[in-house]
Amino acid sequence: MEFGHTAFTASAAMQEGIIRFTLEFAAAPALRHGEITEIEGLRQRLRGARVLGQDPDRYGGYGFGNVSRRLAPYGETPTARRYLITGTQTGVIPRLTGDHYAVVRECYPDENRVVAEGPVPPSSESLTHGIVYALDDSLRWVIHAHAPTLWREAALLRLPTTHPAAAQGTPEMSREVKRLFTETDVRAYKLFAMGGHEDGLVAFGRTAAEASEALFSKLEAVGRS
Ligand SMILES: [Zn+2]
C-alpha cells in the first residue's frame, strides 16, 4: 500500500470497540428469534472465517467485525432507514440471541449521530453501516470484517479504499465513503477497505448472499483472512 499501515496499528487498536459518534440510546426488549435468524446465520459464517470475533492477540483484545441489515418498511429518509445490527462488543459470544442485537432507528452521517434502541447498545461501527445505507437505498446488508491479508493487499487488488486519515465515526469517513461511491467502481466490487482502520473492510449488497459473496470471493483470492 502507499501508506505505512503499521503506523496505524496502535491508534486502530485503541479505537476498536469505542463508540466515537453521538449515540442516543433507549433500552428496549430483546428481538424475537425470527427477527435475528438470517443475520445470525451470516454472522456465524463470518465468525467461522475469523473475520468477526474476539481474540486476545488482536486489537488489544477488543471484539471486531459486525453485521447489519435494513428493516422494512424501507424509505429514503433518515427516520425511515432502520437497521438491525450486532450489539457492541458481542464478538466474543459464539452464538447471539435477541438479547445481543440492537435496532438503529435513525442515522445522521453528517452529524455523526445515531439513534438506537434495544437490549444492548449497537456496534461501535454503526455509523459506517448507516453511511452505506444512506448512499444507496437498494442496499439491504452491510458487513464490517477484519481481514489482515486482504486489507494489506487492497491496493494490489485495486480495491476502493478510504483515505488513511479518515477515522471511523468522523465526518471525514462519511465524505470518504461518499467519494468511493461517486468516483470509484465500489458498487461493482461491493467491497471497500478502510485505509485508516487496521484490517478493516466493508462489504454490502441487496441480499445477505450478495454481501457475503463480495467479501468471501476476495478472501479466497488472497488465501483467506
Ligand atoms: Zn473494525
- 201 CA → ligand 1 middle, Å: 8
What is the arithmetic mean of pLDDT over 204-220?
Answer: 97
Separation of CA 79 and ligand 1 centre (Å): 25
Number of domains in the chain: 1
Ligand 1: distance of its center to the CA of 31 in Å? 24
- pLDDT score of 137 more than 80: yes
Instruction: Report how far ligand 1's centroid is from the alpha carbon of 65 (Å).
Output: 5
- Domain extent, residue 164, equals 5-221
CATH of the domain at 151: 3.40.225.10
| Ligand 1 centre distance from Cα of residue 200 (Å) | 5
Tell me what the mean pLDDT of segment 202-224 comes to: 95
- What pLDDT digit, counting tens, does each position of 172-195 carry? 888 999 999 999 999 999 999 999
Give the distance (Å) from ligand 1 centre to CA of residue 122.
13
Sheet of 22-27: strand order equals 22-27, 113-118, 101-108, 83-86, 66-70, 141-146, 200-205, 191-194, 161-162
Residue range 11-37, pLDDT digits in tens: 333 455 566 788 999 999 999 999 999
CA 119 to ligand 1 center in whole angstroms = 22
